[in-house]
């Protein structure tokens, strides 16, 4: 990890891909501990605040010498913070209050938004191969998640609008990360941790769920949140490295691997059967990650 931080300006394609797959894997399983916290009386927004504040504290201590660098590009960092913060908070709220399958489907329209944002902000051209891979991966996601009885995936209520906006925020976060090549890995990571912490804190007064005091939360759940904070800190660093050194459209396809992880994890933990449709869709997503363009079809990211 230290080597990644010190050498974050150098591109290592295999490491970048590993970072994206690691992030997709963590987010494919992280819903379970957050669900346990919700059942214990720690709401999604409160849990997000505590875990990301802890990640910010850990990262702040690790990068104590880099804090002054945050004032070099305050506008870019603020925008990245808000995009990352909204992505996380809106997704957690959508999953808690909405139909999970529809929420995930609306969120994972994100490759479409990435395609548009990458074209406008990064001048990245997906090319024919890139468009085919995005279409194939989205088809895999639809195969896994879409139930014809639920109708076409258009938002019907507030949680579904939150899911759609979260996917847009996710795409914007990744494109901004790739665009800001003048920012270091610690700067980008601190912006993400700080953004989620700030928005979760601002949202808490509007929640109806009571906030348990520190003594009301069992020690085991505090340890769980500490583990989540460490996992989130490591994941953010790896994902920021991966996104910085990967075509935005390729990264969007790789992130769909989260659906495969979530389906397998649900099977192992919740004894939810893997249907043939889920296995076919998952295989399509995995195949798409191997064929996604790795370079040579984009202009370099701009720093302005």
Q: Per-domain residue ranges for the chain? A: 45-291
**Percent of the chain residues past pLDDT 70, beyond the cut:** 88
Q: What is the pLDDT of residues 280-289, one digit of tens each?
A: 887 888 887 7
Task: Give the mean model confidence (pLDDT) for residues 134-163.
Answer: 79
pTM of the model: 0.84
Q: What is the pLDDT of residues 79-108, one digit of tens each?
A: 999 999 999 889 888 877 777 777 777 888
* 3-state helix/strand/coil string of the chain: CHHHHHCCCCCCHHHHHHHHHHHHHHHHHCHHHHHHHHHCCCCHHHHHHHHHHHHHHHHHHHCHHHHHHHHCCHHHHHHHHHHHHHHHHHHHHHHHHCCHHHHHHHHCCHHHHHHHHHHHHHCECCHHHHHHHHHHHHHHHHHHHCCHHHCCCCCCCHHHHHHHHHHHHHHHHHHHHHHCCCCCHHHHHHHHHHHHHHHHHHHHHHCCCCCCCHHHCCHHHHHHHHHHHHHHHHHHHHHHHHHHCCCHHHHHHHHCHHHHHHHHHHHHHCCCCCCHHHHHHHHHHHHHHHHCCCCCCECCCCCC
pLDDT category at 304 given cuts 50, 70, 90 is very low
Q: Any idea which of 14-23, 201-210, 282-291 has the lowest mean pLDDT?
A: 282-291
Task: Give the mean model confidence (pLDDT) for residues 227-253.
Answer: 92
Q: Any idea which of 40-54, 218-232, 283-297 has the lowest mean pLDDT?
A: 283-297
């Amino acid at each position: 990890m230290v080597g990644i931080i010190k050498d974050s300006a150098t591109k290592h394609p295999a490491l970048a891909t590993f970072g994206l797959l690691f992030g997709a894997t963590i987010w494919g399983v992280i819903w379970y501990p957050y669900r346990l916290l919700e059942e214990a009386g720690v709401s999604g927004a409160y849990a997000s605040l505590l875990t990301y504040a802890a990640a910010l504290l850990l990262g702040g201590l690790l990068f104590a010498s880099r804090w002054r660098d945050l004032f070099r590009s305050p506008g870019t960092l603020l925008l990245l913070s808000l995009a990352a913060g909204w992505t996380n908070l809106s997704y957690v709220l959508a999953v808690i209050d909405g139909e999970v399958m529809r929420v995930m489907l609306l969120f994972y329209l994100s490759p479409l938004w990435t395609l548009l944002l990458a074209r406008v902000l990064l001048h990245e051209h997906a090319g024919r191969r890139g468009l085919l891979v995005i279409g194939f991966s989205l088809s895999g996601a639809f195969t896994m998640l879409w139930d014809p009885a639920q109708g076409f995936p258009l938002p019907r209520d507030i949680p579904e609008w939150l899911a759609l906006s979260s996917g847009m925020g996710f795409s914007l976060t990744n494109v901004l990360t790739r665009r800001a090549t003048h920012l270091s890995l610690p700067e980008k990571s601190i912006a993400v941790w700080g953004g989620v912490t700030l928005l979760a804190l601002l949202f808490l007064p509007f929640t109806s769920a009571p906030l348990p005091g520190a003594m009301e939360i069992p020690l085991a759940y505090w340890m769980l949140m500490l583990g989540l904070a460490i996992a989130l800190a490591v994941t953010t660093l790896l994902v920021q490295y991966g996104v910085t050194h990967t075509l935005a459209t390729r990264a969007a396809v790789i992130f769909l691997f989260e659906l495969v992880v979530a389906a397998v994890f649900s099977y192992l933990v919740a004894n939810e059967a893997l249907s043939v449709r889920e296995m076919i869709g998952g295989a399509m997503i995995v195949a798409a990650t191997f064929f996604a363009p790795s370079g040579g079809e984009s202009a370099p990211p701009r720093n302005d």
